[in-house]
Amino acid sequence: MHFQHYHGASIADVFEPLAALRIAVFHDYPYLYEGTVEYEKEYLGTYARSEGALLFAAFDGEQMVGATTCIPLADETEEVQTPFLKAGFELSEVFYFGESILLPAYRGLGLGHRFFDEREKHAAQFGTFRYTSFCAVQRPDGHPLRPAEYRPLDEFWTKRGYRKEPTLQTEFSWPDLGETHSTPKTMIYWIRPIP
């Protein structure tokens, strides 16, 4: 395996494999994302337009098998920023973490921690941000498509020093599996002070 950093506009260089990876991983519970290349292009454009954004990608040979992104909150979309503004945060205080995704065969190898390490190091190097944060979808415990073996990542995130902040919520919309129309999903943020 090998790893690669992409900053700002260079993220567009790997749009195709990153879009394919996102669609594949987010197909599974809890996101159940019926992904489209059109949406991916719009989403990834936000990162490619930000000079401060980072994509850290893992490759097995030529195949991208994992990826993680982060971006200054001030460069994110309004739907991501709004909960922080309502809670009294300055956008310039927060570095936002996007996805952290791995194909199933590569999980359990420590790459999840590596992804957080890379993003936290990237955010800290600026010396101007006070927090790192990400959000996760909230599905009801009794969701009919929840696999019996599903384990939330809450414990992993807590051990990384993040706390769930229910006062910071937003809604993202996407079509669930088998759907053709997007429906809103509640997203709750987790936050950690930068040491």
Segment 137-147, tens digit of pLDDT: 999 888 999 99
CB–CB of 172/139 below 8 Å?
no
pLDDT recorded at residue 69: 98
pTM of structure = 0.94
Kindly list the distances between the CA atom of residue 27 and the CA atoms of 22, 23, 93, in Å, as whole numbers in the listed order: 8, 6, 32
Q: How much of the chain, in percent, has pLDDT values that exceed 90?
A: 87
Across the range 154-164, mean pLDDT stands at 97
Helix (H) or strand (E) holding 116: helix 111-125
Distance CA(116)–CA(59), nearest Å, equals: 17
Taken in order of first residue, the domains within the chain and their CATH numbers are 2-193 (3.40.630.30)
pLDDT recorded at residue 37: 83
pLDDT recorded at residue 11: 97
Helix (H) or strand (E) holding 106: none
Q: How much of the chain, in percent, has pLDDT values that exceed 70?
A: 100
Question: Which of residues 40 and 117 earns the better pLDDT score?
Answer: 117
